[in-house]
Structure 1
Amino acid sequence: MTKQNTAILSQWWQPQALALDECWQYSVGPITLYFKRCLQEWQFSFERQDQAETNFSTVSQSAVCLPELLTSQRFIFRHSPTSFRLTPKLLERPVVIKTRQPVSIPAGEQNVFYISSPVCIQVSLEQPQTILLEISIQRLSDTWFGASTEHGQLCYADKTHARQSLAEIPARPHRAVTAVTIENRSDKMLTIDKISIPLPYLAIYGRNDGSLWTDPITLQHEGDSSLTRFKISKELPAGLSSADLLTAPRELPDKNNLVRAFTGIFSQ
């Protein structure tokens, strides 16, 4: 087992209650969040770790106080709510994933790839629910994805190993996995070096083991003269047990938007 698979995960999206003047530290992968509940306010700060993605775990524990070197935000109430909740949300733009090596699929074949993307954290208080803010766990660079500078959309950029086995997926609490089925229905070899994951149109699910998953997607390639056919499924990928819906899609799927999301993926 690699170091990446030794991370300790938990369902970090469960609510956490704090007593008055209690401080709490919550680490989700490379980001650490700090909370303090006072009689009439909540204080919050966070920091990101700049390091390679190894042994990323989930840590929830009491803290002595909020770090003095971090800028804190204060949220004022007549009577402060007792609990906070961290909710994973998918990014507000599609993510263009570049494979580390080109992937070729022969004519008539299909493959399932498991591709992950970093999530955002929505910070809220409970009873009544009050959304405080949303934080991206990992900063991604901007990129343009489409057939030309006039036809396409602004996306985020990331890289992937395009894993083909559930057993190969590393345990990372800050990334949600999308099962992408690619069907080559043309009569030629299909070569892929990038793919756009339409995250705003996907829901996010949490499993008991602490892993995050999105709706699976299927892409069907039928040749140069044909548009890509696509499908967003509401069923978990084969080999996975039940999961809880955590966040609905940010946007409702629109056929034209989805066509733009996948334009430019395939080359032969």
Structure 2
Amino acid sequence: MEFPSPWNERRLEDGDWLRADFVDLTLLVFSTLEEWRVAAVGPERRSELEGLEKGDRLPEGLPWERWDRGPEDRGLNFRPVFPDRPVIVRPRAPLHLSPRAKAVFYLGIPAWIELSADLERTRRVLSSWPSVRLSNSWHGVPTQGELCYASRTHARRRYTTEEWSEFDIATTVEISNQSENTLPFERLFFETDHLALFLHGSRLWANHARIRASEGADELNGVAFSPKPYGPAADARIISAARRGIVRRSILRSAFSTVLGTFQDD
């Protein structure tokens, strides 16, 4: 039996509820009393929901969030989005890029799940939640920097479906060493505001990014964005737009740990 995509349009009649599972996240959506009620449940409470069917009474004490809606509002949909902060990505072991060399890496970034629903017959975003909770990381020196997430998957040289969750976003980055010296790739500070999400088969992909890296602490790293994913997923269809649009070029200051200060993970 082929199940519908989790990103398809859904409808809830008044008094009905639905459940959707995304790795460590379970979302319950309840339509009642001209309200959307949404509960985000983690693995620790998932056993309370086992065996529940349409029409059953939901458990007490769920962490409901509520949005007022019109009496005719019925439609809703989930969609994947990138985390709300930059992500720190590591290879499995440090890799030394030769002078003027370049290499492509596959990154698996767990998607956040965004819920949109009809509010007075206008589709609006209610909220979003992480499918997997990532640890916090700090990019920069202790007195100046930016709060990020630490990726739970390593940057890889090949794409292997079995090693990533269904809700991981396959993101490709080509790193080019523009210096005359060997560049150690230990950690990458990766912004996602210019990445859109695509669906290729049942898998999530992002458009390809290329980073020109250097060693100088005061130099900028140029980033070029492609409009489509890399290689075999180039014919994927877009399902979520980039937060700040897909731009041809952008800049990162100090993308690599060898360029700026320290990285600290909790």
- Write out per-residue CA displacement over residues 211-237 of structure 1, whole angstroms, 9 at most, x where no aligned residue: 212221111235548643321221220
Aligned length: 248
Bigger relative CO (Cα 8 Å, ≥ 6 apart) = 1
* Match in the other structure for 2:237: 244
* Match in the other structure for 2:76: 84
Question: Which secondary structure does the structure 2 equivalent of 1:99 belong to?
Answer: coil
* Match in the other structure for 1:203: 196
Tell whether 2:75 aligns with 1:95: no
Q: Which runs of 5+ in 1 are unaligned?
A: 1-7, 51-60
Tell whether 2:156 aligns with 1:166: no
Tell whether 2:20 aligns with 1:18: no
| Structure-2 separation of matches of 1:239 and 1:193 | 27
| TM-score, normalisation: structure 2 | 0.78
Question: CA contact under 8 A between 1:107 and 1:190: conserved in structure 2?
Answer: yes
| Structure-1 separation of matches of 2:192 and 2:232 | 22
**Structure 1 residue 79: deviation in Å?**
0.2
Counterpart pick for 2:125 among 124, 131, 134: 131
Sequence identity (%): 22
Q: Which runs of 5+ in 2 are unaligned?
A: 45-52, 261-266
**Structure 1 residue 30: deviation in Å?**
1.4
* Match in the other structure for 2:50: none
* Match in the other structure for 1:184: 177
**Structure 1 residue 9: deviation in Å?**
8.9
Question: Which secondary structure does the structure 2 equivalent of 1:88 belong to?
Answer: strand
- 1:170–1:80 distance in 2 versus 1, CA, 3 Å: farther
**Structure 1 residue 192: deviation in Å?**
0.9
* Match in the other structure for 2:208: 216
Question: CA contact under 8 A between 1:44 and 1:74: conserved in structure 2?
Answer: yes
| TM-score, normalisation: structure 1 | 0.78
- Write out per-residue CA displacement over residues 53-109 of structure 1, whole angstroms, 9 at most, x where no aligned residue: xxxxxxxx8573433242223333340511211121212221111333112222333
| Structure-2 separation of matches of 1:195 and 1:163 | 13
Counterpart pick for 2:101 among 94, 101, 109: 109
Letter paired with 1:102: P
Counterpart pick for 1:262 among 246, 250, 255: 255
Counterpart pick for 2:221 among 228, 231, 246: 228
Question: Which secondary structure does the structure 2 equivalent of 1:239 belong to?
Answer: helix
Query: RMSD of aligned C-alpha atoms?
Result: 3.1
Letter paired with 1:112: V
**Structure 1 residue 263: deviation in Å?**
5.4
- Write out per-residue CA displacement over residues 233-256 of structure 1, whole angstroms, 9 at most, x where no aligned residue: 212201114222222222368999
Question: CA contact under 8 A between 1:198 and 1:258: conserved in structure 2?
Answer: no
- 1:11–1:241 distance in 2 versus 1, CA, 3 Å: farther
- 1:81–1:173 distance in 2 versus 1, CA, 3 Å: farther
- 1:77–1:103 distance in 2 versus 1, CA, 3 Å: same
Question: CA contact under 8 A between 1:19 and 1:37: conserved in structure 2?
Answer: yes
- Write out per-residue CA displacement over residues 128-173 of structure 1, whole angstroms, 9 at most, x where no aligned residue: 2132222223333332213x44664332222432222223563423
Question: CA contact under 8 A between 1:88 and 1:121: conserved in structure 2?
Answer: yes
| Structure-1 separation of matches of 2:3 and 2:209 | 25
* Match in the other structure for 1:58: none
